[in-house]
Amino acid sequence: MAERKIDELIKTVYEALNYAKSNPSEKAYMLDGINEAVKAVFAGPETGGFPPPPTVRSVDDDFSELEEWLNAVAGKTAKSERKPLPVDIYFGDDFIRLFGRIKGMSEGGICAHILQKFDLLPDKYRKTLESYFNEYPFWGTLNIRGKDYGVFKNRAAQLYNRADGFVRLYKRLADYRSRFVLRAFVENWLNFDFDGLEKAKETVFSDYFDPDIMKCGFDEVLVDLGAYVGDTVQDYVRTYGRRYKKIYCYEISPKTVGKLKKNLEDYPDVEIRQKGVGEKKGVMYMKANPAHDSANVLSANAENASAEVEVAALDEDITEPVTFIKMDVEGAEQAAVRGCRKHIANDKPKLAISLYHNNEDITEIPRMVDEICPGYDFYLRYHGDGISPTELTLLAVYKR
């Protein structure tokens, strides 16, 4: 009876797929029903040893992967192909296949796909994204009325030009949670998949400190680059207790430094330095963000600057060995990494680096760390909202 029921259900799914192919205008309406029916098939005992079925996510899907899966379940492929697949192989192949399709497209084709998906969003989401990118212009411009879609062109260029970098990072990630985060990030860029981002969000530990990954003791020398008002140091102490030898805090805004000093006045062995960090010693200029002080950035251009800022390379500014470097410096992360190459290579500190202040850091910063010091384990943790991927952090621990 169970076998007959599953066969009937599979037949029904085939009929729905054929109908959707023959009636494209009905396809979007049928996607949820098809996916629910496939889940019911997967719940049957006949699917033991099979990987989870692919989900039909958009009207652009040609159903080929889903039909291949159904054929296997229905016994239309050789029995030798029905052996269990290791989870890591299936999970990785799924992401690699995605970028295989991306590499088969042109950069303009990827951008056109993103714009098509954006046009299908409810107006409230389109307006929310437009407002957000205008307040925080790290990733490009978005002006719907003016037909300026610079942020989506930048995303398409990143996916096209660094497809191999995404795959390389995926393979380097040390746990499945990190791989889920990366997949959710890419799916949001491509298809405005909000559900994946919401599921990927870390709800237990703070942005930079995950005690399952990063063990800290009483000999820690923590360097907090982009210390803001001291919230990172406070999170560290809440997570690990007062287990540290010394903490260095770097912050560029005079107003923010005042709050930083006040908030950390009761914390011993904390040194606050009103400096920016970069590849080398010099002077840059602070451009204030009207939306939030935490988004102030450094620029080599003095025009419209609110303050002149001393900039240091960490390799020169701190001479003792360090055990933990946290970076959240509003787009200057790559320069800051270059400025602490010696500390990374020689001290092999734990690293917690923001990857979301431009479109390149997500692939480039892990590559840079690998180049400086091979042997780190990489993890991704996400603390942003479910609309557009921000607050993405690379956690790196030297294991070799």
Question: What number of CA atoms fall less than 13 Å from residue 39's CA on the CB side?
Answer: 8
| Secondary structure tally for the chain: helices H, strands E | 16, 11
- Number of structural domains (the chain) is 3
More confident residue, 284 or 274: 274
- Whether residues 247 and 378 share a domain: the answer is yes
> What's the pLDDT band for 368 if we cut at 50, 70, 90?
very high
Identity of the amino acid at 21:
K
In a domain, 54, yes or no: yes
- Whether residues 47 and 110 share a domain: the answer is no
pLDDT higher than threshold 50 for residue 84: no
In a domain, 114, yes or no: yes
3-state secondary structure of 362: helix
- Pick the closest to residue 335 from 263, 276, 395 (CA basis): 276
- Whether residues 280 and 379 share a domain: the answer is yes
| Sign for the pseudo-dihedral over CA of 48, 49, 55, 61 | negative
pTM: 0.76
In a domain, 34, yes or no: yes
Which pLDDT score, from 0 to 100, does residue 82 have?
Answer: 37
Q: What is the mean pLDDT of the segment spanning 269-295? A: 81
pLDDT higher than threshold 80 for residue 112: yes
- Whether residues 157 and 263 share a domain: the answer is no
Q: What is the mean pLDDT of the segment spanning 14-41? A: 75
Which pLDDT score, from 0 to 100, does residue 45 have?
Answer: 60
Cβ burial, residue 377 (10 Å; 0-12/13-18/19+): middle
- Whether residues 79 and 118 share a domain: the answer is no
The region of weakest confidence among 57-71, 84-98, 145-159 is 84-98
- Pick the closest to residue 153 from 123, 111, 124 (CA basis): 111
Which pLDDT score, from 0 to 100, does residue 60 have?
Answer: 73
CB 196 within 8 A of CB 187: yes
- Whether residues 370 and 226 share a domain: the answer is yes
Dihedral over alpha carbons 51, 56, 60, 64 (to 10 degrees): 40
> What's the pLDDT band for 90 if we cut at 50, 70, 90?
very low
- Whether residues 77 and 178 share a domain: the answer is no
Of 174, 193, 212, the residue that ends a domain is 193
- Whether residues 356 and 228 share a domain: the answer is yes
Question: Rounded to the nearest 5°, which phi and psi values hold at 124?
Answer: -65, -35
More confident residue, 221 or 34: 221
pLDDT higher than threshold 70 for residue 2: no
pLDDT, tens digit (0-9, with 9 covering 90-100), for 315-362: 999 999 999 999 999 889 999 999 999 999 999 999 999 999 999 999
Q: What is the mean pLDDT of the segment spanning 75-80? A: 44
Per the DSSP assignment, residues forming a β-bridge with 379 are 395
pLDDT higher than threshold 90 for residue 379: yes
- Whether residues 245 and 108 share a domain: the answer is no
Q: What is the mean pLDDT of the segment spanning 45-49? A: 58
CATH number (domain holding residue 287): 3.40.50.150
pLDDT higher than threshold 80 for residue 396: yes
Under DSSP, the state recorded for 310 is E
Which pLDDT score, from 0 to 100, does residue 42 have?
Answer: 72
In a domain, 159, yes or no: yes
Q: What angle do CA 259, 358, 222 make, to 5 degrees?
A: 45
More confident residue, 179 or 69: 179
> What's the pLDDT band for 377 if we cut at 50, 70, 90?
very high
In a domain, 315, yes or no: yes
> What's the pLDDT band for 30 if we cut at 50, 70, 90?
confident
In a domain, 200, yes or no: no
- Whether residues 324 and 264 share a domain: the answer is yes
Helix axes 163-172, 150-161, angle to 10 degrees: 70
> What's the pLDDT band for 221 if we cut at 50, 70, 90?
very high
Residues of the domain holding 38? 2-85
More confident residue, 271 or 19: 271
pLDDT higher than threshold 60 for residue 100: yes
> What's the pLDDT band for 64 if we cut at 50, 70, 90?
confident
| % of the chain exceeding 70 in pLDDT | 85
Which pLDDT score, from 0 to 100, does residue 291 have?
Answer: 56
Of 60, 85, 110, the residue that ends a domain is 85
3-state helix, strand, coil in the chain (%, to 5): 50, 15, 35
CB atoms within 10 A of CB 3: 10
For the chain, give the mean pLDDT: 86
In a domain, 312, yes or no: yes
Could you list the beta-strand ranges (E) of the chain.
221-225, 246-250, 270-273, 276-277, 282-287, 297-299, 307-312, 324-327, 350-354, 376-382, 392-398
Instruction: Report residue 38 CA to chain centroid gap.
Output: 29
Of 28, 51, 85, the residue that ends a domain is 85
The region of weakest confidence among 55-64, 77-86, 222-231 is 77-86
Which pLDDT score, from 0 to 100, does residue 53 have?
Answer: 79
| % of the chain exceeding 90 in pLDDT | 60
Based on its alpha-carbon atoms, the radius of gyration of the chain, rounded to whole angstroms, reads 24
Which pLDDT score, from 0 to 100, does residue 136 have?
Answer: 86
d(CA 135, CA 47): 49
d(CA 94, CA 142): 31
- Whether residues 255 and 366 share a domain: the answer is yes
d(CA 253, CA 275): 9
Which pLDDT score, from 0 to 100, does residue 295 have?
Answer: 59
Under DSSP, the state recorded for 81 is G
pLDDT higher than threshold 90 for residue 373: yes
In a domain, 323, yes or no: yes
d(CA 267, CA 91): 45
d(CA 311, CA 216): 29
- Whether residues 39 and 79 share a domain: the answer is yes
Q: What is the mean pLDDT of the segment spanning 172-201? A: 93
